[in-house]
Structure 1
């Protein structure tokens, strides 16, 4: 299933949610149409599988193996988000794009909320900023939204804001 989810994630991240046909998604997953439908019986299930896979990759990359020092941990998370944006998310957040493509799909809203909440909770724990999850998420989201325009300057600005949060 991981191979299928990885292929689906890549297809949706590069082509959006409306463009790829089921045949395109089958090709991206590298399996037969029968196998694709066995594991993801509908197009919606294909989107959910891609987002679940994306969530795990993102959380692992951003939140695992952080330094014990809270400032270093937070700055490393921000650096990692910058690298993620450069390498993986040049078109912005895939979760927000999914919700925008199907605004009445409650499961997509739940996936978005779970993704953002888990990232914020793990960041708060790693930086000893429990209770500041919304502030952390605001910095992270601001970074992901401004990165396409300002790149490394966006990371530096996010680190500056993070320093204020740590000092409070």
Structure 2
């Protein structure tokens, strides 16, 4: 197994285990077994658990951004449709097998208070989403405050769907977003 293959096996196993069981609950020995690598190789590629968590969150960030961007692009023309596509993307995600909430919120809840590096990664991811929403809103000519409002709805839907195990949280957030968007467009 090449170094790249081993790295991929470790990150894939870590992503699945951390998301399913939690970051703190998964030890290096369990991760090594799931990845099919020796403990020595695991530590040579990732000297500390924080290194693995950081790499997993970097992968999740890339997956999130590409999936969200694709959903917004597929929404077609019209600024309203692009803004609402965010909530369609959330609904699809919430309905997927194994949905257990936002990996970033989960990581922050478990490790953010004791691990400044993880807290920083999570904050950067959330700031990136807010910047993305701000760019979508700027394209509409609506007031900039709409971006923060729509971001809060999306974040709240993620937490609510994870806790309640109800993907309808995305539908409710979308309906609230429609009201906010229509009001913002009426005043723009």
TM norm. shorter chain > 0.5 = yes
1:115 alignment partner in structure 2: 125
Q: Contact 2:50/2:118 (CA < 8 Å) preserved in 1?
A: no
1:141 maps onto 2:155 in alignment: yes
Runs (5+) with no aligned partner, structure 1: none
Separation in 2, partners of 1:110, 1:88: 29
2:134 alignment partner in structure 1: 124
Residues 144-155 of structure 1 mapped to structure 2, 5 A cutoff: 144-148=158-162, 149=164, 151-155=166-170
Residues 23-102 of structure 1 mapped to structure 2, 5 A cutoff: 23-64=29-70, 66=73, 67=75, 68-87=77-96, 90-102=99-111
Aligned length: 168
Separation in 1, partners of 2:40, 2:116: 27
- Aligned CA distance change for structure 1 residues 89 and 48 (closer, same or farther; 3 Å): farther
1:158 maps onto 2:179 in alignment: no
Per-residue CA distance 1:109-159 (angstroms, 9 max, x = gap): 111111111112113323436733321220111111222437343222111
- Aligned CA distance change for structure 1 residues 151 and 105 (closer, same or farther; 3 Å): same
Return the TM-score normalized by structure 1.
0.85
Q: Contact 1:82/1:147 (CA < 8 Å) preserved in 2?
A: no
Separation in 1, partners of 2:127, 2:26: 29
Return the TM-score normalized by structure 2.
0.77
1:17 to 2, 23, 29: 23
Separation in 1, partners of 2:8, 2:157: 29
Q: Contact 1:124/1:130 (CA < 8 Å) preserved in 2?
A: no
Q: Contact 1:73/1:126 (CA < 8 Å) preserved in 2?
A: yes
Per-residue CA distance 1:49-81 (angstroms, 9 max, x = gap): 111111111121122352332222222221111
RMSD over aligned CA atoms reads 2.3
Q: Contact 1:92/1:145 (CA < 8 Å) preserved in 2?
A: yes
